Amino acid sequence: MTVEDRGLGSGTDVLIRKVDSRLAALRAALHGPDLELAEELAARLREMILATARSSAADRARVRAAVHYFVQRRESRDARLPLRSLVAA
């Protein structure tokens, strides 16, 4: 059953796809505790996305911001923004 089948909006589906896409990229790059933490974080984000699908706009915005942070956290080529271990953060 997809998100659409449950009557939730397409915005919910888009957020879940973003989380899943980022997690797929992380699986190729991370190992050990960092990967486990990334998978746990992705699972919690999916839960929050589904739980707030019919919540207030403010609650949905908070979840979108969390997804955005997770998706945008990329290894930086810029020395000013080094990527630290997820476990160390």
DSSP state of 77: S
* Residue range(s) defining the domain that contains residue 25: 4-71
Q: What is the pTM of this model?
A: 0.75
Tokens 């949905």 sit at which residue? Answer: 60
Residues of the chain with pLDDT > 70, as a percent, come to: 71
Give the C-alpha separation, 84 to 69, whole Å: 14
Residue 50 counted as domain residue:
yes
Q: What angle is formed at CA 22 by the lines to CA 70 and CA 68, rounded to 5 degrees? A: 30
Higher pLDDT, 77 or 35: 35
Phi, psi of 61 (to 5 degrees): -65, -40
Residue 80 counted as domain residue:
no
Give the C-alpha separation, 26 to 4, whole Å: 26
The count of domains in the chain is 1
Residue 78 counted as domain residue:
no
Residue 27 counted as domain residue:
yes
Residue 51 counted as domain residue:
yes
The mean of the pLDDT values for the chain is: 83
The two most distant CA atoms of the chain are separated, in Å, by 45
